[in-house]
Amino acid sequence: MCDQVFLSSIGLAQRPFCRPSSPPQPLRSFCCSPDAMGNACSNGCFAMLGGNPKAAELRACKEEIKTLIETRNCHPILVRLAWHDSGTYDQRIKDWPQRGGANGAIRFDPEMNMGANAGLDKARGYLETIQKNHPSVSWADLIQLASATAIEMAGGPVIKMKYGRVSVTDPSQCAGPASREGFKGNAGLPDAAPPFGCGAQKPEEHLRNVFGKKMGFTDQEIVALSGAHTLGRVFKERSGACPFGYGEQSASKYTKGNCIARKDGKSGVGMVGGGAWTKNWLTFDNSYFANYKDAMDDDDLIWLPTDEVLHNDPEFKKYFYKYAGDQNAFFQDYALAHKKLSELGAKFDPPSGFEI
């Protein structure tokens, strides 16, 4: 896997005042009904008082995340951190937090130290300062906010996220590596290449075991989410799935320090090295689909068995080629799948969540 809001409340001041008709009617005929007033207050009282304080705190976090990404070029690893927090989710387990998912558990060592999460301690470190500045924001929310913001800043869709996730509070609440039925380790997180931890012999079977059977995604959603490989890189020191590693000498020709990969054309690649799926690996677009033949033919790009199967499997390839030819369709479907991923296994307070 690669190193990978809702609408604000509507205030009462924005609601039209009731006006008396002519000739004047009894007072009750032009006053808002109790039900209408109740709904207005539930939707708008926070706005009258300056907004939901939790939402305001998250908006402040988002501004700090934007500064972090702008200076560090760390979009991909923030996406990967959030995906791997959510990725422990098992729909076959009903209790929280045992079911895993977007609960902030990845910040604790039992999950952080799983092999699939190699290198993600750096992303945790990036967010620790922001969380200390905003202690009322849960780690679970902060991790998912950072991922959605990274996608947006790389040129991808604005994802209509829901917030209010409750975080686990100690390492004992982490998902154990071998806690997922049918998976040998990593709490059922996906593998880039064989041997697959779920015992699958083919990559399409592995993808469906992880994202379908365990996490509840459809084939279409699996392909849409795979498009996030337009961002980020693989490192031989982490997954071992490519020959490219840390530093200038081990970088591919597309991941050296002088490469231009950002959507805005500015310089800066963050940490140098690794191998990418696309040439512009700090830009979120549909090039993962549209330019896959370049990746297959270029020794300096990455194309793994779990990528190749997407344009060969009879079901997967319907969506792969659709997104290759229609970036708007990809963005629309990706945003929905990303939102779903960000909410897997989460417990919200309030139960309906809130927008920022």
Q: Side chain identity at 96, as an amino acid letter?
A: W
Burial of residue 77, with CB atoms counted within 10 A of its CB: 0-12 exposed, 13-18 middle, 19 or more buried? buried
3-class state of residue 16 by DSSP? coil
84 part of the active site: yes
SS (H, E, C) 112-139: HCCHHHCCCHHHHHHHHHHHHHCCCCCH
Q: How far apart are CA 162 and CA 355, in angstroms?
A: 5
- What is the per-residue burial (b if ≥16 Cβ within 10 Å, else e) of 25-40? eeeeeeeeeeeeeeeb
Candidate list 84, 206, 229, 311, residue with the active-site label: 84
Sign for the CA dihedral angle at 224, 231, 189, 240 comes to positive
Q: Say if residues 202 and 190 touch (Cβ distance below 8 Å).
A: no
* Site of tokens 């779990």: 306
Active site members: 84
